[in-house]
Amino acid sequence: MSSTALRRSPDDASPRVERAQAGGPGPWMPRGRWTALAFSSRRQWEALERQLDDAGAGGAWDLRGIEQLDHIGAQLLWNHWGRAWPAQIELTESQKAVLDQVERFGARPPEEPAPGFWDSLRRHLAKGPVLWRVGKEGTALLGQLALDLLTLLRAPHRAPWRDISGHLYQTGATALPITALVGALIGVVLAYLISNQLRSYGAESFVVNILGLSLIRELGPVLAAVLIAGRSGSAITAQIGVMRVTEELDAMRVMGIPHGFRLVMPRVIALAIAMPLISLWTSIAALAGGMLAAQMSLDISPEFFFRQLPRAVPFSNIVLACAKSVVFGVLIALIACYYGMRVKPNTESLGRGTTSSVVSSITMVILVDALFAVLFRGIGFRF
């Protein structure tokens, strides 16, 4: 390749590693300027590191395509080769002189000692500012949501009602089949496990009390929240993340469209409305599955089940379950939107943000459910 061809575009001067024959067995041919000035760009440095990792240390190398080579570039190649000459190499006299100097006087990379206990402790304590930043950004997102809700109450005609109804359908109506199926299976499993224990004590009728309280008060809302966090929470993060990748969020900011009012608030309202309904739907499906299993394993008729259930489960449990579900829906939507806004314009960050959103949502749901269980432990029981 001639020197004229090497200078056809400004990017041709950037350091890079190419194959003599694309996909073939030819030697690796570094190109461009391997100088300290060329390595000043972080993006070029990361791209070059990936190319060197793909090339590997062995094989044949041809350095004659390098326009400029100083001690920084030579040290990078020398370290990549494992501080030893490759088996086959083609280079000019000036390049050989620079590499000889690096071989003779080049500094060995320092060996990092194994981290001790105090090093690990300091590394964990160093994450404190990250937690502080997450808390600050989360508080800012919650405050912006409160301001947007006030704007909605003051000017309802400006609200994105079509977006709210669309998200309500996507997060609520389309989730009914999977939540009903999972709830029914959970009810069947619980009824069979409980029946084995109650039969040994002659207390088969108490299966209605145990199923009613456990499913309506705890398992129904938590199970629905976990399913929605994995299904709708990940979808929300992916949607907003894709908008970041395609620069739609930047376009909205330039056009003066607030992200919180048009992206966060509709999803929060939709999940706050849908979660109590999905929770009740899941609990009903679980009770139906438990009732069927109780009839098959304990010969308890559906009539007895329906008659005993209102006596065993006070109405306050349903109110508590709906209240918890509203909190779960708001938290899932806020966490999903937060991680969606934090996505960087690349696919790796999009996948990492979606995974973090689901894990954080499920963890927060379990923590809040435990908090509700402690605060309202005296409500919804008959003594």
What's the CA gap between 222 and 244, in Å, rounded? Answer: 31
How does pLDDT run across 47-74, given as a tens digit for each residue? 787 787 777 666 788 888 788 888 788 8
pLDDT at 31: 82
pLDDT at 23: 58
How does pLDDT run across 345-357, given as a tens digit for each residue? 888 888 899 999 9
Q: Looking at the structure, tell me whether residues 100 and 142 fall in a common domain.
A: no
The amino acid occupying position 94 is S
Which residues lie closer than 8 Å to 231 by C-beta, 6 or more apart? 175, 178
The amino acid occupying position 226 is V
pLDDT at 7: 39
Of 90, 105, 120, the last residue of a domain is 105
Which residues lie closer than 8 Å to 276 by C-beta, 6 or more apart? 321, 322, 325, 326, 329
Contact predicate 64/92, CB 8 Å: yes
pLDDT at 120: 64
How does pLDDT run across 171-209, given as a tens digit for each residue? 999 999 999 999 999 999 998 888 878 877 777 778 888
Q: Looking at the structure, tell me whether residues 42 and 188 fall in a common domain.
A: no
Domain with residue 33: its CATH number is 3.30.750
Q: Looking at the structure, tell me whether residues 202 and 341 fall in a common domain.
A: yes
Q: Which two tokens stand for residue 227?
A: 């399913």
Q: Is the pLDDT of residue 304 over 80?
A: yes
The residue assigned the tokens 């992206």 is 263
Q: Looking at the structure, tell me whether residues 138 and 90 fall in a common domain.
A: no
- Residue 224 belongs to some domain of the structure: yes
How does pLDDT run across 149-179, given as a tens digit for each residue? 999 999 998 889 999 999 999 999 999 999 9
Q: Looking at the structure, tell me whether residues 253 and 331 fall in a common domain.
A: yes
- Residue 110 belongs to some domain of the structure: no
Q: Which two tokens stand for residue 236?
A: 């929300």
pLDDT at 266: 94
- Give this prediction's pTM: 0.65
C-alpha distances in angstroms, 378 versus 84, 208, 311, 316, 375? Answer: 73, 20, 17, 11, 8
- Residue 44 belongs to some domain of the structure: yes
Contact predicate 306/210, CB 8 Å: no
286 versus 195: which is more confidently predicted?
286
* Per-chain mean pLDDT for the chain: 83
What's the CA gap between 218 and 26, in Å, rounded? Answer: 65
- Residue 363 belongs to some domain of the structure: yes
- Res. 6 pLDDT band, cuts 50 70 90: very low
Q: Looking at the structure, tell me whether residues 91 and 167 fall in a common domain.
A: no
Q: Looking at the structure, tell me whether residues 201 and 269 fall in a common domain.
A: yes
Instruction: Count Cβ atoms below 10 Å from residue 339 Cβ, excluding itself.
Output: 28
- Residue 235 belongs to some domain of the structure: yes
Q: Looking at the structure, tell me whether residues 181 and 219 fall in a common domain.
A: yes
Q: Looking at the structure, tell me whether residues 50 and 197 fall in a common domain.
A: no
- Res. 17 pLDDT band, cuts 50 70 90: confident
Average pLDDT estimate for 258-272: 93
Question: Structurally, how many domains does the chain consist of?
Answer: 2
The residue assigned the tokens 């705890």 is 218
- Residue 126 belongs to some domain of the structure: no
Segment of 82-86, 139-143, 248-252, 364-368 carrying the highest mean pLDDT: 364-368
- Res. 27 pLDDT band, cuts 50 70 90: confident
pLDDT at 121: 60
Q: Is the pLDDT of residue 213 over 70?
A: yes
Which residues lie closer than 8 Å to 119 by C-beta, 6 or more apart? none
Distance of CA 262 to the CA centre of its chain: 22
Q: Looking at the structure, tell me whether residues 269 and 361 fall in a common domain.
A: yes
Q: Is the pLDDT of residue 232 over 90?
A: yes
What's the CA gap between 145 and 150, in Å, rounded? Answer: 9
Q: Looking at the structure, tell me whether residues 153 and 297 fall in a common domain.
A: yes
- Residue 343 belongs to some domain of the structure: yes
- Residue 117 belongs to some domain of the structure: no
Residues spanned by the domain of 82: 3-105
- Res. 310 pLDDT band, cuts 50 70 90: confident
pLDDT at 5: 37
What's the CA gap between 315 and 313, in Å, rounded? Answer: 7
Q: Looking at the structure, tell me whether residues 66 and 173 fall in a common domain.
A: no
